[in-house]
Structures are given as C-alpha cells and as structure tokens.
Amino acid sequence: MTDAAPPPERPVCHFTPPVGWMNDPNGLVHHAGEWHLYYQHHPDSLVWGPMHWGHAVSRDLLTWEHLPIALAPDEHGTIFSGSAVVDRDGVAGYGPGAMLAFYTYHRERDQGQGLAVSLDAGRTWTKHAGNPILLPPAGDVDFRDPRVLRYQDPAGPVWWVMVVAAGRVLRFYRSDDLLVWTPTGTFADPAGDDLAVLETPELFELPIDDGAERAWVLAFGQTTGGPQGGSGARYVVGGFDGERFTPSDGDAEVRWADHGADFYAAQSWTDSPDGRRIWVAWMNNWAYAERTPATTWRGVLSIPRELGLARDTVGQLRLTQRPVDELTRAQQPLLDLREPDLETAQQQLARVRGAGLDVTLEVEFASEGEGHLELAVHHGPAGATRVGYDPVSGEVVVDRSGSGGALDPVAP
C-alpha cells in the first residue's frame, strides 16, 4: 500500500510516461545500481507517431525517475524498439563499461539497425558514426527490434548474439565486436498465424524447477491472432548454441506468455545483480491501443515479473511468472480483518483508504452453489470498479463499466 496518491487516472504500481504516447519497453539493463527502462515514446501526441526512446531509472523497480529523452529521430529515420547492453570488456572500442543501445531505424518501407553509445551511465547518448550497422537481407521489408545478448560458449569462447524480427521469421546474428554482424540462422513458428508479423524478440536462459538443469526461452510479439484478439506475446522452450535456436524434443509448441488481452512486446532486464530474469510488457493491445482513455499521457507497462521454468504434469516445460518481490517488500500492513459477521466487516472495509491496496480474502459461503462476493474499489462520486466472485461458475469478474471514462467496445 502507498499513501502517496497520484492523479486518479494514473496507476500506482505500473510505469506510465510523464506525457505523450508510450508503447514497447526498450533497452532494459541494470547498471551501476540502477534499473534502466527505455521505451517507445511519442512525446508530442497521445497516439503513435515518430518514435523516440523515453528513459527512466529506478533502484527498486517501483519508484521511477523520469529522465530526458534518450534517442530522437535523425536523418536515418525514427527510433524503433531495441535493447541495451553494457560492454564490460570494451570490444566495441568505446572502452570497458560503455553502455550500447541497439535500435531500429525506420523509414517508409526501409528498416535497419542502429547503434548509440553512452559513457555516463545511460544519461546521454552518441549515435555511432557508421550507422546503420546492419541492413536487411534482400526482400525483407520488416526487419526490426534487435535483441542483443552476451553468449558464453560451454567450451570457453564468448561472443555477442543479435535476434531481429523479420516478418514471419526471427533472424540470428553473431559478432565479436558488437559492430560487424554475421547471420547464423532463422526461426519460424510452423503453426503460426500467416497474417501475423513477429516483433520484439527476446532470448534468455532459465533454470528448470530452480535446479541445475537449464533451458532457453525464445519469445516474441505477434501482431494479430492473440488469445483475446489483436496482439499478444508468445514463447517456445528449447536449446541455443550461440547461433541457432532449436525447440525442445517432443515439445516444439509455441505458447502464449499471457492469456489476457493486454501483454505485448515483453522484454527482460540484462545484468540483473542477483541473477533473476525479470521482464515487463506493454499493457495494451494494438486492436484498440489508440482508443484507451487518456488525458495528457497514454500507455502503461505491466508489473515486473520474475520468470522461471517448471515441468507440467506431462513433463513439458512451461514458463512461470510471478510479481517481483519488491512489490511485497513495499507493502505496509493496514487492516487484518477476522470478522465472521458480514455487516461488521463491511463497515470496517468502508473506512479503508489508499492509493494502492493488496487485498487477500478468504471467504466461506453458507452453502455450496449459493452466494456472491463483490468488492467495490476505486469508489467515488462517478462510480466504482467492481470485482466479484461467483461460486457457481467459479469466475472472477472485473466490471469497469462504472469506473469512469469512455471505454472502447473492443477493449476487454
């Protein structure tokens, strides 16, 4: 819970831009004690337009300091999504510890990868004189969102990997100096939506069931065909040898990372100090993104989630996700209500106030198949958001019709 009430339209625990439009998270990296968050940003409008990289930093993944725009369009194009790394060995020639941002230059039917360098912990950036550093293969119109990572070969050598979304496939590249990139392979979902374009690739290794065994996860955004319509995030588990990704034997299924409507372009932080793999996503959907209620800003990111891998009942590997522990550590006890009488409980709950509340309920219904539980949250003169549970259907229902603001009919 927090007592510092933001404007009523701003979430308490979710990141939002100070002004203007925001979509994909970009360039997530931990460096010098700070979690860096860059993001797709149009500072002068509430709808998508000429993309910049916005920037914020945090020490706890909850409280964010907004910083000046990091990257702006130039003669090569606007600045689409990408990633950032810390070049600890200085292989790119900018010195050990330089931060390098890889992003897509976008022009009409023309995309290529650019590089920018920061020598002051991500505060200011200088674009590489040789941009763009990677152009698309012949015939690729969509060629964007470079995800760069350091790969340690089990035999000893170290090199860098780049994954780029290219229409219906993901393209893999390798480099020794972060400047010259050699193609090594591709990945395509054989059961994917033929109309969908793949975006925002992600690649990382995770322990299985918190043990010594490990596997790789390849994830990406899909523009159409999502589980609730529109866009969504997908993943597949397998092996990666530094050049090619191979789905697990007997389990090549590409699954949805989230079955809700509002989870897209998920990206994870590089160089987490405690080894956790944490990602965050744009909490929106391209089916209605430009029609969500807005005042001076539009766009929300999901709560950061810690990732893992676990085997299901038939032995297949599934991605696990849970809110980061920082959320729990930030909570302050407010009310411990152990009241069997419903009327008394309602009176005590009515006095609870807070900009953000974590409510844990244990309710016993008088008889099976009867009763209904409903909480009115964000209650005010304009209405309330209602969260209810129906024991007959086993459904939890969130009713936003009285929350205020016009909702698009396509939105959930």
Active site residues: 24
CA distance 104 to 150: 19
Buried/exposed code over 30-45 (b: 16+ C-beta within 10 A; e: otherwise): bbeeebbbbbbbbbee
CA distance 160 to 242: 8
CA distance 279 to 257: 11
Rounded to 5 degrees, φ, ψ at 350 are -65, -20
How does DSSP assign 118-170, residue by residue?
ESSTTSS-EE-TT--SBPPPTT-S--EEEEEEEEE-TTS-EEEEEEEEETTEE
User: Which residues are paired to 85 by β-bridges?
Assistant: 100
Strands 383-390, 52-58: pairing is unpaired
Amino acid occupying residue 83: S
Nearest to 38 by CA among 222, 306, 301, 390: 301
